[in-house]
Amino acid sequence: APQAKIGPSILNADLANLAAESQKLLDNGADYLHLDVMDGNFVPNLTFGHPMVKCLRNHIKNAYFETHMMVNSPEQWIEPMADAGVNLYTFHIEPVKDVCNVCRLVQESGMKVGLAIKPATKVSVEELARYMEVADVVLVMTVEPGFGGQSFMADMMPKVEWLRCNYPNIDIEVDGGVGPKTIECCAKSGANMIVSGTAVVGAPDQRQAITQMREVVQR
């Protein structure tokens, strides 16, 4: 599997101090930043969009930005997010008719593309094979998207194992309820991109939390 990376989610950080909060996470060892974009329609919550991401990019020049697009029309935000300096554009497949076409548009804009899958979404093996030809990352949700601080769904691990077994070289990301206690089974199942929100942002010692998690994924 590709090298393991830890990407804190800033969803439960102090969003009015996003630049400082993000810089602190990077200084404490974060490999990338996971930015949760919610439109109030695809999920019952609302966060921020490309104007905010663009401002954050002005403060933080060289970190790797992933936007997790929990929105009904991901194709609508490709150009603005590319312009805002996003590196990896991860969108949910559920509301999208032509997933491969949206992947192509993302890549044409110069970003990498990730495909996010909600816990209950069924994807056929044939469908998945077509997606895996074009996607750079697959994001297996380990909570119902919408809110930070929910409990990790261990029953998503067979999905991760299956993906790792069939696609040994793809980046597999997990998101939702992942922290020092739950990262072990994610790593064992084959996930190599680890999103962690409250467990890192709310930790008394962020550096220690990130270091501890990194040790688990690297062994």
Provide the mask over 49-88, with x wherever binding to Zn ion is found by CB under 5 A and - wherever it is not.
Answer: -------------------x--------------------
- Residues in contact with ligand DX5, counted by CB under 6 A, come to a total of 22
How near is the Cβ of 219 to Zn ion at its closest, in Å? Answer: 25
Contact between residue 5 and residue 196 where contact means Cβ atoms under 8 Å apart: no
How near is the Cβ of 196 to ligand DX5 at its closest, in Å? Answer: 5
Would you tell me the crossing angle of helices 18-27 and 50-59 to the nearest 10 degrees?
Answer: 50
Residue (105 or 175) nearer to ligand DX5, CB: 175
Which residue in 155, 211, 218 sits closest to 184, CA to CA?
218
Contact between residue 193 and residue 174 where contact means Cβ atoms under 8 Å apart: yes
Annotated binding-site residue? 175:
yes
Is residue 149 part of the contact set for ligand DX5 (CB under 6 A)? yes
Is residue 139 part of the contact set for ligand DX5 (CB under 6 A)? no
Is residue 198 part of the contact set for ligand DX5 (CB under 6 A)? yes
Residue (68 or 92) nearer to Zn ion, CB: 68
Sheet holding 5-8, edge to edge: 5-8, 193-196, 171-175, 137-141, 112-117, 88-92, 65-70, 33-38
Residues forming contacts to ligand DX5 in the complex (CB under 6 A) are 9, 11-12, 34, 36, 68, 143, 145-150, 175-178, 195-199
